Amino acid sequence: MKLSLKIALRFLRYNLGQTILIIAGIAIGVSVQVFIGLLIQGLQKDLIDKTIGGSPQITIMAEKNEKTIKDWQEIASNVQKTDSTIQDISPAVDGAAFLITEDSSDPVLVRGFDLNKAEGIYGFQSKITEGRLPVENQVLVGKNLKEDLNLSLGEKIIVATAEGIRKEYEISGFYDFKVSAVNKSWVIADIKTSRELFGLGDEITSLEMKVSDVFTADSVAAAIAASLNNDKLAIDNWKAQNEELLSGLNGQSVSSLMIQVFVMVSVVLGISSVLAITVIQKSKEIGILKAMGIKDGTASLIFLLQGLILGVFGALAGVALGLGLSVAFTKFALNPDGTPVIGLYLNYSFIALSGVIAVAASVIASLIPARKSLKLNPMEVIRNG
């Protein structure tokens, strides 16, 4: 092993230019793999965050005939025990109403929350652009609705239901969910205010929750349904509501994987061909070494170690280059507001896996020249020069 390593290093140093070119080739392949992989993963993360980052991933609702959930505290307690990945559970009271001003009457959706529990799901604090969270008899209004109706902080507004109930509320603040449809329609209140408006007592209209891994929402929802076994409840999850988005994400993942596979294949072929040429170039030296008593296994190990050394240095350089490209992309590819088009996302396990695959590919590529060296007959090599 020690002798094979010394000879392998000597061969690599003797053809230093060739060695640098091989390492550069591996580095470029790994950098492309890391850059594209992180880019696609960052894009997917941004899409998921924008789509469901500020919304529940699983929702328990009453069936249409029931309209409300009565024993929701018991249900929430049972749900919490169902799966350890459930992070936040919040009751909600929703209802259609009209926001009445002097000049207009606009349809809105009044959403009442336990604001402390719902913060982990919606992140209200980070979305408030002006004012503060509402307390009893106050509401939070969307940025677009504010502009459409020319509303101001502290202004009194009237909200009316289809049943003829009219309530006056003070605007405590304005929010921006970055979704026009939400900003124009949601009027956010605390759960007590919403219950009084719709006359629901202690009942709720839905139970919303967030899980630690968004892609397990469907399996967690199925487990909740099996645990509750209640035909008066409907359980929905974000994956069932966003099938087209999931299809697009899957397409991105497949295309990214294909690119990475072809890049690694090209790296393997390049290393294998160069090392195979090295066997021919060094056949005389190998023949002399064999004639001096070096075993076939020791001779073939020389090329395996060459592949390993080239792979390690190429992987390290490639990971560094790939991370550099990822950082550069976030600095130069910017939105009009100066934020990155795709945020920098570092998946350390993926980066490490890319490096390991590169090293493994290099060692595999060196198997062909290693086998070729086994077949060298020292007497023939020396006789033929």
| Per-residue DSSP letter, 92 | E
Phi, psi (degrees; rounded to nearest 5) at 156: -90, 135
User: Can you read off the two tokens belonging to residue 48?
Assistant: 């998921």
Each residue's pLDDT expressed in tens, for the chain with a length of 385 residues: 777 778 777 767 877 887 888 888 888 888 888 888 888 888 877 777 777 767 888 999 887 777 888 888 888 888 888 888 888 899 999 999 999 877 778 899 999 999 999 998 888 998 999 999 999 899 999 999 999 888 899 999 999 998 888 999 999 999 998 888 889 999 999 999 999 999 888 889 999 998 888 888 888 988 898 888 887 888 888 888 777 777 777 777 777 778 777 777 777 777 667 666 665 566 566 666 666 666 766 767 777 888 888 889 988 999 999 999 988 888 887 777 777 777 778 888 888 988 888 888 888 877 776 676 666 555 555 555 5
DSSP string, 233-252: EEEEEHHHH-HHHHHHHHHH
| Per-residue DSSP letter, 214 | G
* CA 145, 168, 96, 53 torsion-angle sign: positive
Task: Please check whether residue 56 is in contact with residue 269, taking contact to mean a CB–CB distance below 8 angstroms.
Answer: no
345 three-state secondary structure: coil
Predicted structure pTM score: 0.68
User: Can you read off the two tokens belonging to residue 236?
Assistant: 């929905």
Long-range contacts, stretch 377-381, CB < 8 angstroms, 24+ apart: 377/287, 378/286, 378/287, 378/288, 378/290, 378/291, 379/287, 379/291, 380/287, 381/283, 381/284, 381/286, 381/287
The span from the CA of 175 to the CA of 158, in Å, is 19
The span from the CA of 38 to the CA of 316, in Å, is 16
The span from the CA of 209 to the CA of 56, in Å, is 5
